[in-house]
Amino acid sequence: MTAPRAAPARAPLFDWLFILSLIGVAGVLIRIVWFTPYEATQGAAQKIYYIHVPAALSAYLALFVVAVMSIVYLWLRDERSDLLAWSAAEVAFLFTSVVLCTGPLWGKPVWGAWWTWDARLSLTLFLWFLTLAYLVLRGAVEDPAMRARFSAVLGVLAALLVPFIHLSVYLFRTLHPMPIVLKPERPSLPSEMLLTWTLAVFAFLFFCVVLIRARYRLELARQGVGGVTNA
Amino acid sequence: MPDTFAYYVAAYVVTGILFAGYVASLAWRARKIVPRAGDREPDLQNLTVGP
């Protein structure tokens, strides 16, 4: 196994990039609450869309990092790629949790049901359990090389679910709405709502990347590679 | 327009709690890290009398 190369000494866990990402999320929140109109038929609940979908896309991004870094680990046996995959898996779990919490809070007033066992919802719940299994596995296997190898295989398999989840609304009869923006045709959103949604997507993706970076720096410090300061 | 304001607020509050909780957990785990040798660099060329 390759020993991790030293990171810059005393790299701060929460630096200016973290502050910038928080400002981005806060700015989008202000726009959602005060500068984006309510939708006519769903009322205020439609605004959940501005965090639900960006959180889902952020989870996809984090899982993409898990898959790529897992493959890199299996190929090169570089411990840094294993640590980065682990960091991204934890952040993917966070964003998938946001998706699974905000979805039912939209579904209850709009569908009249908190949950339904349709393809997209069930697959997303399954993905959440797989990500949880990945994190539990990390704590269950003591041998570092074996832990990294098992995790990498599970990480790749979990990430393989993402395309199925995204296409599930086309492949199966589901209650979940069809894509409103990410589809071949023009987005079915008025321009001011589309701008809010686009800004929210970029703010969440940036926040996701910054969280993965902070988690990775923390892990490097815990492994004794590069210091970390909490400021 | 239906009154769905409570669900809207709940979704944002839950999301805020999850994000804040995760950031707090990162900060908590960072606190436990023992400083490594070399993290502190006292100026040994300018020693002074303590209190």
Q: What pLDDT does B44 receive? A: 73
Helices (H), chain A: 16-35, 49-76, 79-111, 119-140, 144-159, 161-171, 191-222
Q: Does B15 contact A at CB distance below 8 Å?
A: yes
| Dihedral pair phi/psi, residue B38, rounded to 5° | 100, -15
% residues pLDDT > 90 (chain A): 72
% residues pLDDT > 70 (chain B): 76
CA distance A31 to A205: 17
Q: Does A209 contact B at CB distance below 8 Å?
A: no
ipTM surpassing 0.90, yes or no?
Answer: no
Question: A105–B14: do the CB atoms touch at under 8 Å?
Answer: yes
* Prediction pTM value: 0.87
Residues in B touching A105 (Cβ below 8 Å): 7, 10-11, 14
**Secondary structure letter of residue A116 according to DSSP:** -
Question: A102–B11: do the CB atoms touch at under 8 Å?
Answer: yes
Question: What is the residue-averaged pLDDT of chain A?
Answer: 89
Coil, strand or helix at A190: coil
Question: B4–A110: do the CB atoms touch at under 8 Å?
Answer: yes
Q: In chain B, where are the structural domains located?
A: 1-33
Q: Does A213 contact B at CB distance below 8 Å?
A: no
In Å, the largest CA–CA distance within chain B is 74
Of the candidates A52, A106, A228, the beta carbon closest to that of B30 is on A228
The answer to whether the Cα torsion of A86, A87, A91, A97 is positive or negative is positive
pLDDT tens for residues A75-96? 999 999 999 999 999 999 999 9
Residue A105: closest CA among B17, B16, B7, B3: B7
